[in-house]
Structure 1
Amino acid sequence: MHVFPQLLLCMLLHPVEHITVPPGFLVEKVIDADAEQGSWVCMDFDSEGRLVIAPERGRLIRVTMTGEAVDAEWIDSPVERAQGLLHHGDSLYCNVNAPLDEGGGLHRLRDLDGDGTFEHHEQLARWDWGGEHGAHAIILSPEEDSLYLVHGNHVRPPENLLETSPLRNWDEDVLLERLWDPRGHAVGRMSPAGYVMETDFDGSSFRLVAGGLRNPYDIAFNHCGELFTYDADMEWDIGTGWYRYPRIVHVVSGGETGWRGGSAKWSDAWPDVNPPVVETDVGSPTGIRFAYDSSFPEPWRSALLVSDWSWGRVLAVHLHQDGAGWKGTVEPFLKGRPFNITDLDVGPDGHLYCITGGRGTSSALYRVRWTGIAPEDDYVVTPPDDGTRVLRLALESWHGDTDPGRLDDLYAAIGHEDRSIRFAARVALERLDPDSWSALALEEEEHRRAIELLVALARTGNEAQRNQVVGRVVDLLGRPVAVGEEIGLLRAAMIAMSRAESVDEKILRRLGERIVIGYPTGMLEVDRLRTTLLVSVDHPDVVPLTLDAMDDTSSHASQLLYALPLRHATNWTELDRERFLEWSKGARRFEGGLSIQGFVEGIAGPVLGDDLPPLPTGTPGMDEPLPSLHAWTMDEIQPHLPRLDEPSRSLDRGRIAYEEARCSLCHRFGTTGGDLGPDLTAASSRFSRHDLLEAILEPSAHITDQYATSRIELVDGSILVGRILERNRDRLRLLVDPYGMEEVVVSTVEIASESPGETSFMPAGLVNGLTLEQILDLLHYIEQEQAP
């Protein structure tokens, strides 16, 4: 046994002052990790009450808390880089997020004789490395007879999927070519995107449960056996009409949340999307846990506790049944600076335990306990049910069933007033041969039922049936329809057109003639679909009418949604182009996430070409050398970090140092700054002072996926290093100089090999022109949540 001496600590713990908590709760630090133990990302209690922790890189650690003593030891096993841990019986399951040749996949360690040593190891399944968007949590099913796993959008599902998987028939369903992220994030990542799957204890096969997620890190079952997760969109998209706030998702059978890469994300208003239970403000989701087993009082005991790494907090989500589904409200529970929380779990003592870490940051184990009177009873609550949830679950039980005898029941349910029931019925219907029910879809008069039937036929039918779907949508739109019904019908047409090889020109002409009437309607969700369809059918009036709509809204996000399809329009007059040029000048001042101006360029560039207005202020380069007084090291500055609390520290001097070190050229802080490096807003919520200093002095020590570079070796022996902006079968587009925005396009036949880059775009030595006092003021300035 290798015991860490520094972890043989006293359990007479002192309160932690940098983490706020509701009255009656106390937060205590159990242990700090040092560099040897790595940066901690997930944990799980075993049956003996011991805590197993997985660092981002490196071996597993077992922490034992006995009385007033804490000790820790390395676990002797080949498993490293796990981002999901689960104890069950004599087994420890580990979901390893690593390249295939380094063990990426599902592993099982077994302690066959109960002596605390894992004598047996086997890899049950393999999947490739997904970076920060890879293999994540594992949890036990409510019946304790299977495992559930959640993966981010950079890992493809395994090949041995069961035919009974409820998530089927997925596709991008994007009618017009999207704009991928202009900064290169998640380029080429396709559906099903992030997903949840179920497997047996031997990992012999996998049942794909739900998808369309981006990068959920954890999943949790509530007391009714319903599954939930916490997912977030890319914050670089903030300010665009397709950005979606972080969300609590009810993970239903066959569920589709609608994340798609770049500008192609689906709307929550579309019938083929599971809308969120509740949205939160901006954050970076990590571990989640229901607090049922805790000693907490209500309302905390029944809450879903969700972690937010970027803002250093835990939110409490209070769920309530809403028909066949769930809705919720959110309130803060914990908030710290720093509190870079990665995972949390309820211990056998009823207290909540949290670990911090991730992206190479400092780690610690905290305990949150209720200091009042603990509840005496076990948590047992049965929510009221009007029968809708029971019906949904019955329909979901048919998601692997191809029995045509279900058709009558499905037909009845697919017109239900509850959206969750309609969704479940449609997923079940898609298991049946569409030839057995296509006539129902094409003859249905009731709009709500017709929408679901037509969506199902668009997703599963043949070429002729997809043409018929579009024609039927045109017919139904000729009658009075409610707003929600029009959205559903237009979406059915969009799916059919995107999946069909071609649609009859007469049908397309009829569609254009129908939906141009009254366009723009002023209702964004309706117009978003109408604009796309009108551009797709090449309607001659779509450009001026859409420009009118853009003039009529002051919302920059709405303007971008209207403008997005116009890059594919062909009927531009000189007057239209002049109007678009004037809009583009204003759009160059739109504020939002780091990618917003890249999207503006992608929208306006194809129309305006060389006339595309420049940014109001160009991004300055790094051409002029910085002064160098001293090559600062961690050892020299770290002992002075406690001096950041001195009253003599100055925000004004810190701001000046921030500019002199040219931080603002590459980093956003609040609403100002560049977009080449990570956003520093609320950096102190996720980075300790040591971590911030290390990121400044040693920028290549830890490079997050979002800013990683690639090393491309060409067949002629030359080497290119940069960030991949675009990749397809024929070429690769690489940003090789972020300061001069120099790009290189390479044909795929020229590429000999590709490997991760080892250096950051951020050069070292940026603070070598500052004095020690200036560096301390700079750190003090960055520690503010927003730029003062």
Structure 2
Amino acid sequence: MIQALRTLSIAVSAVLVSQSLMADDASQSQSTQKWTFTDSDHGWTAYKDCTLDVQDNALQIHSTGKDPHFGRDLKSPAGWKKVKLRVRSTQRLKGEIYWKTQKQNGYSDSLSQKFQTRNNNNNKWQDLAFVFYADSEITGLRIDPASRKGLVEIESISLEDTEAPASASATPVDQIKLLKGFKIELLYSVPTDVQGSWVSMTIDPKGRLIASDQYGALYRITPAKIGSQDNDTKVEKLPVDMGMAHGLLYAFDSLYAVVNGGKERPSGLYRLKDTNGDDQFDDIKFLREIKGAGEHGPHAIILSPDKKSLYIAAGNHTDLPAPEKSVVPQNWDEDLLLPRLWDARGHAAGKLAPGGWICRTDPEGKEFEVVSIGFRNEYDIAFNPEGELFTYDADMEWDVGSPWYRPTRVNHVTSGSEFGWRSGTGKWPDYYPDSLPAIVNIGQGSPTGIVFGTGTKFPAKYQEALFISDWSYGIIYAVHMKPQGASYVATYEKFASATPLPVTDLVVNPVDGAFYFTIGGRKTQSGLYRITYVGDESTAPVEPKPDQLAALRELRRDIEAFHSQQDESIVYSVWPYLGHDDRHIRYAARIALEHQPVEQWQNCVLLEKDPATLINAGIALARNGKPGFKTPLINRLKSLDWKALSQTQKMDLLRLYQLVFIRLGEPTEKERKEVLAQINGAYPAKNSFMNRELSQVLVYLNVPKVIERTLELQDKALTQEEQIHYAKVLSSLTTGWNDDLRKKYFKWYLKSTAHKGGMSFNKFLVNIRAEAIKTLTDAEKETLKSVLEVNLEKAEPIAQGPPRPFVKKWTVDELLNAANTDKVQRSFDRGREMFAAATCFKCHRFAGEGGTIGPDLTGAGGRFNAQNLLESIIEPSKVISDQYASTMFLLDDGRVVNGRVINLHGKNLMVLTDMANPSNLTSVNRDMVEEMLPSKSSMMPTGLVDTLTKEEALDLLAYLRSGGNPDHELFKKKD
């Protein structure tokens, strides 16, 4: 049946081409055109950042290296087209060809194809060809040859009619790994050149799916019946001028579309209706403009649990649509104590709070209300059966390896919540009390569609799961939540995965109880799949279960009800909960307080005696009070006994001091000394995150000896993230230095060349050092000249210290026997040190520290026994986690590429081949792949513990089993 659909697609395309050619005869546009370059009258124009001339029968493009492109207007009939270039350059070109049409008379990414030439040291001519479909007459071509400065030569350019290419298939189901008991079907492979790449879906009342091409139209799909022998899935293009939707929802007898990046139609919220009963949408109403476009623009739209309102999510490049209301106090700011550096490659530079947001609105889009802020790029949102809202937020993968990197994460979106995304180095850690944490960190990835399993004919566990999509790694996870306090914590497992499987959206069809998903995006091959359960477990609808913690969530929701009200009695109602043991209840109470006029409660803060209540109320006052309250608030806070505070209270107090200085004003000299008298003696602390916050506050307050203490911590730091944090903290400090301290500080940058990270990583280090250099005198610059002149981006890596000597080739049995008979009290500190010595921190996150290329190991000790852990360390290829398995690509030019696909665009797969160097990617063109095989070798190297003694290895094992808890029984004295 699929082959029949491909044949039909080609036949339809041929008819379209034939019809286009007949139309062109009337308009006298040319179907075949070729340009050679023998004189200057060639008809092509330099549009930007380049010049054109003709020499030796070739068009010479002299590029300035910014955004060079040239082109020409022309006429060519609609249909399948082939553009051919004969090009030459000594450099490897990464360019793009664009075309414009009568229907879309402007150049955009929706009508373009990228290209890449081979390395060409011999400067030989290379032939490039591009095949595409134009749905109306072509009116122009544009060529972007390269973004680097230099010369590019073109001998000829041609544009001609061609046949439709054989339809490619979406990833076959036999290549998709799926949990036992589930069945997957490929219902439809989308012909990319005609129907684009689908990125969003919804279900209409008849159980049909409606999907949107990222750059094109809407399509309605009637899926084949479950269990049918023939795949008679039907796909129709909807005859309505609407598409480019990142969010679709059928509700209130209407189709809602959140258009992203519209040209003819602005980005925003639209409502489509069928007014004459012919089963087609004939009425389009523009409800609200939402300014934003691209992959961080406006995204999903879903129905509220009470079915009375709509919820819309948008990424951090999207302006708030002039909301009429907000349950988030509208006093958001950057709230950064020390100077921030923008992304080293310019991404989101200048973008300020609130970042990505979620709003709710009525069916007519008349009143928008802000519900939550502080996301990077949450693509989709979903409600659980209890009416709690969740999202899956994106990371900034270029930040990997830096202290401000935050993994992709699942967030519980409560009323008035803030999740702390800030651009560049400004991202808030999740322990800041003025924000909320994730319920689970996933790691690197590219979040897309999410949906709860509610309504599926799945086993109970999966009816209750939140399914989330990772576009770049090709994974659908099942996230399993359990209540914790007034919120949740979660674990996750891989539900479905393949290479490639760029999942874009997920829906549950209430008509057949099946789970549908699409793949596509960025012009990659798109497809529609269906997952059903065929195992032996019951698929009866899940009934609500008794929950001992439901009362806490109910209390939180009762407090949240005050977020949209103002009344003097609310202060008295919420005040007792400002110091509650549960973080989400404390947060809800503070937000309710901030919605009340500050004059009603500001004096209550100064009279409060309970430390937890005082700190949380103080945060509210710092965010809302006038500068005149700075001194009274500091006077009240300085009386708190630091040693009597809990770890959480200490961290919250440090953040409160930051907010006081940021929001209410710099401390006087007297206030500075009083604050120092309270906290200075705590630095350095045993906890690395406590040290991070202490270092910021103490550097800001310019404390004596803070440089010496911070450099000593940097010296001892076991993770590159911690070392970089201290380098950045000290970069803006102008006083307290001497020659020895300056040398020690700047020599660290030479050692930093051994550190690896994402695409922005090296440039960030360069920029941090540049900020520090600005604080130097001319004499200091001269003294440090030999160190300062080293190019950090090109320097050979310098080892952090002497290599550890080889001890022995450990076996699993040897260390397992030693662990089983061990009677010694293990050392937490030495275990952590060995985790670093074995380079585990480079790739793995543990207790909030370390990298994210590999799995987070914090919970490994709770899931695996000592033998499993030792096997994973010593024999990493024995059992390879599907989630982190690599693929072997056999290419038609004889090359073999082994790694994990982490990004896609069109036919190009970006493959990570070295876990220790996440910015080093290899581009693989799918057309060059002869075979893809699962790699039998783990990307994790062997021999990592062979430099450890037996005692050190046992301490490392204990550290892993402890989950990062220094009070674990393994570290207690043994009888």
TM-score (norm 1): 0.78
Distance 1:235 1:459, change over 3 A: same
Alignment correspondent of 2:741: 576
In the alignment, structure 1 residue 18 sits paired with structure 2 residue 175: yes
Distance 1:88 1:551, change over 3 A: same
Distance 1:177 1:99, change over 3 A: farther
Q: Give 1:673 deviation, angstroms.
A: 6.8
Judge conservation of contact 2:267–2:293 (CA < 8 Å) in 1: no
Instruction: Report 1:165-180 matches (<5 A).
Output: 165-180=327-342
Alignment correspondent of 2:611: 447
Instruction: Map Cα deviations across residues 240-288 of structure 1 (whole Å, 9 max, x no partner).
Output: 1121111110000010111111111111112111111111122111100
Q: Note the aligned Cα RMSD (angstroms).
A: 3.0
Give the alignment partner of residue 189 of structure 1, picking from 351, 355, 362: 351
Mapped partners of 1:214, 1:654: distance in 2:
31
Distance 1:30 1:521, change over 3 A: same
Q: Give 1:482 deviation, angstroms.
A: 2.0
Q: Give unmatched runs, 5+ long, in structure 2.
A: 13-169, 774-780, 797-887, 900-909, 942-975
Which secondary structure does the structure 2 equivalent of 1:102 belong to?
A: coil
Give the alignment partner of residue 755 of structure 2, picking from 590, 599, 608: 590
Mapped partners of 2:293, 2:897: distance in 1:
41
Alignment correspondent of 1:480: 644
In the alignment, structure 1 residue 615 sits paired with structure 2 residue 792: yes
Instruction: Map Cα deviations across residues 497-526 of structure 1 (whole Å, 9 max, x no partner).
Output: 112344433212332343222312132222
In the alignment, structure 1 residue 606 sits paired with structure 2 residue 771: yes
In the alignment, structure 1 residue 417 sits paired with structure 2 residue 574: no
Distance 1:515 1:355, change over 3 A: same
Which secondary structure does the structure 2 equivalent of 1:440 belong to?
A: helix
Judge conservation of contact 1:130–1:152 (CA < 8 Å) in 2: no
Alignment correspondent of 1:658: none
Give the alignment partner of residue 38 of structure 1, picking from 173, 196, 218: 196
Distance 1:654 1:564, change over 3 A: closer
Judge conservation of contact 1:42–1:84 (CA < 8 Å) in 2: yes
Mapped partners of 2:891, 2:912: distance in 1:
26
In the alignment, structure 1 residue 518 sits paired with structure 2 residue 695: no
Mapped partners of 1:46, 1:785: distance in 2:
44
Mapped partners of 2:495, 2:501: distance in 1:
13
Alignment correspondent of 1:720: none
Greater CA drift, 529-538 or 262-271 = 529-538
Instruction: Map Cα deviations across residues 309-337 of structure 1 (whole Å, 9 max, x no partner).
Output: 01101000001111111111111100111
Alignment correspondent of 1:548: 712
Q: Give 1:527 deviation, angstroms.
A: 1.8
Instruction: Map Cα deviations across residues 322-357 of structure 1 (whole Å, 9 max, x no partner).
Output: 111111111110011111100111122111111001
In the alignment, structure 1 residue 52 sits paired with structure 2 residue 210: yes
Distance 1:475 1:321, change over 3 A: same
Q: Give 1:491 deviation, angstroms.
A: 0.6
Judge conservation of contact 2:890–2:896 (CA < 8 Å) in 1: no
Judge conservation of contact 2:418–2:436 (CA < 8 Å) in 1: yes
Alignment correspondent of 1:296: 458
In the alignment, structure 1 residue 84 sits paired with structure 2 residue 247: yes
In the alignment, structure 1 residue 431 sits paired with structure 2 residue 585: no
In the alignment, structure 1 residue 134 sits paired with structure 2 residue 297: yes
Instruction: Map Cα deviations across residues 433-484 of structure 1 (whole Å, 9 max, x no partner).
Output: 2222112212322111111100000111111123433343333255632221
Distance 1:540 1:27, change over 3 A: same
Mapped partners of 2:940, 2:689: distance in 1:
35
Q: Give 1:495 deviation, angstroms.
A: 1.1
Judge conservation of contact 2:291–2:321 (CA < 8 Å) in 1: no
Instruction: Map Cα deviations across residues 718-756 of structure 1 (whole Å, 9 max, x no partner).
Output: xxxxxxxxxxxxxxxxxxxxxxxxxxxxxxxxxxxxxxx
Give the alignment partner of residue 63 of structure 1, picking from 221, 230, 238: 221
Alignment correspondent of 2:278: 115
Matched residue type, 1:562 = Y
Matched residue type, 2:670 = K
Q: Give unmatched runs, 5+ long, in structure 1.
A: 620-643, 656-665, 694-774
Q: Give 1:137 deviation, angstroms.
A: 0.4
Mapped partners of 1:29, 1:577: distance in 2:
62
Which secondary structure does the structure 1 equivalent of 2:638 belong to?
A: helix
In the alignment, structure 1 residue 670 sits paired with structure 2 residue 670: no
Judge conservation of contact 1:7–1:31 (CA < 8 Å) in 2: no
Matched residue type, 2:608 = E
In the alignment, structure 1 residue 349 sits paired with structure 2 residue 593: no
Distance 1:152 1:143, change over 3 A: same
Instruction: Map Cα deviations across residues 13-32 of structure 1 (whole Å, 9 max, x no partner).
Output: 99711100011111111111
Instruction: Report 1:94-105 matches (<5 A).
Output: 94-98=257-261, 102-105=265-268
Alignment correspondent of 1:378: 541
Alignment correspondent of 1:736: none
How much identity, in percent, do the aligned residues show? 35
Mapped partners of 1:154, 1:36: distance in 2:
29
Mapped partners of 2:208, 2:931: distance in 1:
41
Judge conservation of contact 1:444–1:450 (CA < 8 Å) in 2: yes
Which secondary structure does the structure 2 equivalent of 1:428 belong to?
A: helix
Greater CA drift, 502-511 or 106-115 = 502-511
Mapped partners of 2:668, 2:913: distance in 1:
52
Distance 1:331 1:598, change over 3 A: same
Alignment correspondent of 1:271: 433
Alignment correspondent of 2:566: 402
Which secondary structure does the structure 1 equivalent of 2:339 belong to?
A: coil
Mapped partners of 1:156, 1:647: distance in 2:
44
Greater relative contact order structure (CA < 8 Å, 6+ sep) = 1
Judge conservation of contact 2:399–2:758 (CA < 8 Å) in 1: yes
Alignment correspondent of 1:734: none
Mapped partners of 2:493, 2:456: distance in 1:
18
Which secondary structure does the structure 2 equivalent of 1:288 belong to?
A: strand
Mapped partners of 1:560, 1:242: distance in 2:
10
Q: Give 1:49 deviation, angstroms.
A: 1.0
In the alignment, structure 1 residue 532 sits paired with structure 2 residue 699: no
Judge conservation of contact 2:445–2:471 (CA < 8 Å) in 1: yes
Alignment correspondent of 1:497: 661
* Structure number with larger C-alpha Rg: 2
Which secondary structure does the structure 1 equivalent of 2:754 belong to?
A: coil
Mapped partners of 1:782, 1:255: distance in 2:
43
Mapped partners of 1:532, 1:199: distance in 2:
40
Mapped partners of 1:333, 1:427: distance in 2:
37
Mapped partners of 1:132, 1:15: distance in 2:
27
Distance 1:33 1:336, change over 3 A: same
Judge conservation of contact 2:891–2:930 (CA < 8 Å) in 1: no
Matched residue type, 1:30 = L
Mapped partners of 1:548, 1:228: distance in 2:
42
Instruction: Map Cα deviations across residues 208-240 of structure 1 (whole Å, 9 max, x no partner).
Output: 001111101100000100000001220111111
Judge conservation of contact 1:167–1:210 (CA < 8 Å) in 2: no
